[in-house]
Structure 1
Amino acid sequence: MKQIVSAILAIPLLISTFQAGAQNKKAYSFDNLPVIAKTFFKKDTINILKYGAKNDGITLNTKSINQAITDCNKRGGGVVVIPEGLWLTGPIELKSNVNLHLKKNALLQFTKDMDQYPLVEGNWEGLPQMRNQSPIWASNQQNIAITGYGIVDGGGEAWRMVKKDKLTESQWKSLLASGGVVGEDNKSWYPSAKSLKGAKMKNAGVITKDKDAAFYAEIKDFLRPNLLVLNRCKRVLLEGVTFQNSPAWNLHPLMSEDITIRNVYAKNPWYAQNGDGLDIESCKNVLVEGSTFDVGDDGICIKSGRDAEGRKRAMPTENVVIRHSTVYHAHGGFVIGSEMSGGAKNIFISDCTFIGTDIGLRFKTTRGRGGVVENIYARNINMKDIPGEAILFDMYYAAVDPVPLTGEKRETPKVELLPVTEETPVFRKFYISNVVCDGAAKAVFIRGLPEMSISDIFLDNLTIKAKEGLDIQEAKNISLSNVHLDIKNAKPLIYIQNGSSVTLSNISYTNAELLFRINGAKNSNIKLTGTATSKAAVKTEFGHGAQADVLEIK
């Protein structure tokens, strides 16, 4: 009998109701949920003090901690204890059957001495790349954990570039006084000349035959590591610990299975470039619950590789349950993409709160990615003070922050019809219900490609207060039902461009200068029912080839 005991998570059946087109309401359920194999550890305990570790904040404890983990692994596993205190260390390698346990008031501080992090072949933003060794890492291990009550600090300020526009004047002056170098635009600070040199290159870390060890050494500081990388591991538990101040992404399970993340706190400065909280990439069977994220980029993110490399890997992220979690500052509260070329499916998020995230539910991709994202379920989501969209689907992701900085100008993507190829991404079968948002720039934004409409989006029971209303472009089989909109700038309340089979039922609103603006020659079968159109000063406006008969109001 295997040492690892598998157990089926007791996840309650959750039922959401949506209405599609003119069909009767159909029940969709949170079914086919994953079976998560749990971790199990021997009670044997090893204290790093027995290996000469010192909590003076000066002694480098890399060897002591790693030797304790290695010995624990050789003995068949158990618990390696990090006691109370400040423990300075270099990279730590997790090994099978070992639970690294941080006691209360334990601070595992990773050194800012970059020489302690060797260059290794890794993965960054969905592509094989040369990176500095991650502070905590494991590869091809089974039954591993980091648990307890302490803090893991990645020393990220030694690695990250910083944008001037994200700091106050006094913070910027203090940063300049600390050393480092400023970019040619005088708006970006880099911790070293090597970091700046790498930033000037395109795909600097991508592994190619023409790059040798000397090349990577010249830009080493630019190749920032993710704080925690678990590569091709099985049966993983992260519980109770605070992971903060990551050089790049914070938590990154990659091509791993059976992962439980419970009651963790992922924390980064809001200006932390690429400072994601959790990136679940090409993983299978994942539970995230009771956790908090307050970071500099996306909060909870689903990925599966980038472009041709992701399609070649062909490992979707699938069977993921996210529940009872909170996201504060982040580019997106819950996010899929944009590196999703291997696909994503069977994702269930429920009972979560987003406060101050740039976007609430954020689904992003772009041409070149390919991949299919489908069967995504979200329910019981609360949002407050969202600077961007409450709910966003966008197939024109441009690799920029979702909310422009003051004075930043952006051009609208050029709309052109291109052939459908393996590089064309697909977004379909999203089911979202029971969303309340108190404050957003836009309520709902759905934007597909002319050659590949976003399709089968079902939104039910939404209450959203925002500056702008519903914006639906290049989409088909879209259903919004039981939606209440409190919109400040309802000119129009509902905008549709080249929408097909768009059904809106029971839409209530406080006021509207213009109810509908419909543009484009490819609109068809747009229906509105159960809505008091008389509250709008003007009901409809058609343009750019749209005909009045595409809209039916009952």
Structure 2
Amino acid sequence: MTNAKYKLKGLLATFFAMLVLDASAQQPVTIWKTTAEPLAEMARIRKLINAPIFPAKDFLITKYGAKGDGKTLNTEAFKKAIADCAKNGGGRVVVPLGNFLTGAIHLKSNVNLHLADNAKIIFSANPKHYPIVFGRWEGMELMNYSAFIYAYGQKNIAITGKGILDGNATYKDWYAWNVGKPSKQVKARDVLHDLNHKQTNPKTRVFGEGDFLRPNFIQLYSCNSILIADVKMVNSPMWNVNPVLCENVTIENLRIIAHGSNTDGVNPESCKNVLIRNCYFDTGDDCIAIKSGRDQDGRRIGRPAENHIIENCEMKDGHGGVVIGSEISGGARNIFAINCIMDSPNLDRILRLKTSSSRGGIIENVFMKDIKVGAYRDAAVTCNMFYEKPGNFMPVIRNIWVENIDVEKGGDYAIFVNAYKESPVENLRMINCNIRGVKTPMKIDHVKNFKLENVTINGKLMTK
């Protein structure tokens, strides 16, 4: 398809997406009336999520020439082992005890990349070891450096085992690309934004050497039936776990530690049926950030984030514990977060919904329950429609249910809402919440059907 034809297709898609968005925003939405209703919906969604199962066959990477000395580059050994595993019907590609240096690892269908206990994969800091592939970068499609672990259009794939994935990022290499004012990445980032707004063909948006757009740690694109379990992830160059346009995703028992800029923990984008459980986050950005594409790309593709369950997770440092946005132009619905622990003076927010009128999209049916909080810095619950520059696509936030949040030491606000008068936050309900030690109980402008039931802030029972 020529660029002109693609641009016309993109403009038409955006126009019709606007019509659909306007229509859907006006449609009646089911309003939960009791706690039992969202819990029943969560139980229904849980049945749709099933981790893949693999044949009982092992393919040891050392048999393909890999050396765990921390110095030998093992990219080809990983490639050969994965290809052989896939060719023979699937199984586990096993990383034994040792320190295995490598460039990009590309997974194939029916392959489980499995790390033995305490085995370590160390990723090279040389950008030349990451080929240019098709993916997303901050919610925009492009050709750029491969994620450290990448897959496109595969099914039944996994990364498992009680080993360590070390992104090896430092301020001498990957992190240095996004420091200073302006940072090295700013020029290319601005170009990518412009190409997105012009709706050029994403496969002609080619970035790489000299553009300084950092790769994500794990990006699985248009894949189905995924398991990421048990590994420890450290020193990611940017976002850690980023499934895009995927379905049936299980992420469990991860331990993610990274404190560079934009080192989000788990960022599902435009995914359906996602389970995130029993994970630990100590990050330099959002712990869990649910997304669905930025601006024109998000509207053109039009895939919402839907049916996500987050449970039994622990959040330490980060901009937000459970976050929806900001790249949310495709919308988000049916997001559930229960039984989590959050505690750090460097954790800004507990539940954060962030969007803008350049994003648009509908965020609806968000349920959070049984959250134990030691400390946070900014706000327990945030709904912000002015996260970035304004545009012509009015965002919608509706049907948000927050129950049983207990906070020992709050920050600036308990509840913060900054919405458009033309699009107030609708049906925000908080039940049985106790938030102590905040500077300002509530800062709220435009809401509709806002309800507080047995909510205590700084020892005072609150009313609207």
CA distance in 2, matches of 1:380, 1:315: 29
- Does residue 210 of structure 2 align to residue 219 of structure 1? yes
Q: Is the 8 A contact 2:134 2:203 kept in 1?
A: no
Alignment of 1:45-84 (within 5 A): 45-84=58-97
For residue 104 of structure 1, what is the aligned residue in structure 2?
117
Which structure exhibits the higher relative contact order, with contacts defined as CA atoms closer than 8 Å and separated by 6 or more residues?
Answer: 2
The total of aligned residue pairs comes to 419
Alignment of 1:122-271 (within 5 A): 122-157=135-170, 158-161=173-176, 183=180, 196=184, 198-200=185-187, 202-205=189-192, 208=195, 216=207, 219-220=210-211, 222-269=212-259
Alignment of 1:16-35 (within 5 A): 28-32=37-41, 33-34=44-45, 35=48
Aligned identity (percent) is: 39
1:203 Cα offset (Å): 2.0
1:381-419 CA distance string (max 9 Å, x none): 1112211111111111138xxxxxxxxxxxxx9xxxx9x
For residue 429 of structure 1, what is the aligned residue in structure 2?
399
Q: 2:333 aligns with which of 341, 345, 348?
A: 345
CA distance in 2, matches of 1:433, 1:358: 19
SS of the aligned residue for 1:59 comes to strand
Structure 1 alignment gaps of length 5 or more: 1-22, 164-181, 191-195, 400-412, 488-506, 510-526, 529-554
1:414-438 CA distance string (max 9 Å, x none): xxxx9xx6x1110000111000112
SS of the aligned residue for 2:299 comes to helix
Task: Specify the code of the residue in structure 2 equivalent to 1:160.
Answer: Y
Task: Specify the code of the residue in structure 1 equivalent to 2:39.
Answer: F
- Does residue 461 of structure 2 align to residue 508 of structure 1? yes
For residue 20 of structure 1, what is the aligned residue in structure 2?
none
Higher helix share: 2
CA distance in 2, matches of 1:291, 1:153: 17
Runs of 4+ in structure 1 displaced over 6 angstroms? 23-26, 209-215
CA distance in 2, matches of 1:367, 1:214: 25
1:316 Cα offset (Å): 0.7
CA distance in 2, matches of 1:359, 1:98: 37
1:216 Cα offset (Å): 3.9
1:307 Cα offset (Å): 1.3
Task: Specify the code of the residue in structure 2 equivalent to 1:142.
Answer: K
Q: 1:456 aligns with which of 422, 427, 431?
A: 427
Change in Cα spacing, 1:454 to 1:94, as seen in structure 2 (3 Å) is: same
SS of the aligned residue for 1:309 comes to helix
Task: Specify the code of the residue in structure 2 equivalent to 1:484.
Answer: T
CA distance in 2, matches of 1:215, 1:306: 18
Change in Cα spacing, 1:398 to 1:113, as seen in structure 2 (3 Å) is: same
1:215 Cα offset (Å): 8.2
Q: Is the 8 A contact 2:177 2:213 kept in 1?
A: no
CA distance in 2, matches of 1:481, 1:213: 53
SS of the aligned residue for 2:54 comes to coil
- Does residue 453 of structure 2 align to residue 481 of structure 1? yes
Task: Specify the code of the residue in structure 1 equivalent to 2:38.
Answer: S
For residue 408 of structure 2, what is the aligned residue in structure 1?
438
SS of the aligned residue for 1:63 comes to helix
CA distance in 2, matches of 1:367, 1:207: 17
1:266 Cα offset (Å): 1.4
Q: Is the 8 A contact 1:162 1:273 kept in 2?
A: no
CA distance in 1, matches of 2:427, 2:297: 28
1:129 Cα offset (Å): 2.5
Larger radius of gyration: 1
CA distance in 1, matches of 2:34, 2:61: 59
CA distance in 2, matches of 1:260, 1:475: 35
Q: Aligned Cα RMSD in Å?
A: 2.5
Task: Specify the code of the residue in structure 1 equivalent to 2:191.
Answer: A
For residue 17 of structure 2, what is the aligned residue in structure 1?
none
Q: Is the 8 A contact 1:148 1:240 kept in 2?
A: yes
Higher strand share: 1
CA distance in 2, matches of 1:214, 1:350: 40
1:370 Cα offset (Å): 1.3
- TM-score between both structures, scaled by the size of structure 2: 0.85
Change in Cα spacing, 1:446 to 1:319, as seen in structure 2 (3 Å) is: same
SS of the aligned residue for 2:52 comes to coil
1:457-493 CA distance string (max 9 Å, x none): 1111110011210122111110011011117xxxxxx
CA distance in 2, matches of 1:244, 1:428: 36
Alignment of 1:338-487 (within 5 A): 338-356=326-344, 357-398=347-388, 423-440=393-410, 441-465=412-436, 466-486=438-458
Q: Is the 8 A contact 1:444 1:469 kept in 2?
A: yes
Q: Is the 8 A contact 2:145 2:208 kept in 1?
A: no
Structure 2 alignment gaps of length 5 or more: 1-31
1:214 Cα offset (Å): 12
CA distance in 1, matches of 2:304, 2:56: 36
Q: Which segment is superposed worse, 292-301 or 124-133?
A: 124-133
Q: Is the 8 A contact 1:289 1:324 kept in 2?
A: yes
Task: Specify the code of the residue in structure 2 equivalent to 1:39.
Answer: P
- Does residue 275 of structure 2 align to residue 287 of structure 1? yes
Change in Cα spacing, 1:67 to 1:427, as seen in structure 2 (3 Å) is: same
1:508-542 CA distance string (max 9 Å, x none): 27xxxxxxxxxxxxxxxxx76xxxxxxxxxxxxxx
Change in Cα spacing, 1:137 to 1:215, as seen in structure 2 (3 Å) is: closer
For residue 132 of structure 2, what is the aligned residue in structure 1?
119
CA distance in 1, matches of 2:64, 2:340: 42
CA distance in 2, matches of 1:469, 1:478: 15
Change in Cα spacing, 1:214 to 1:282, as seen in structure 2 (3 Å) is: closer
Q: Is the 8 A contact 2:115 2:163 kept in 1?
A: yes
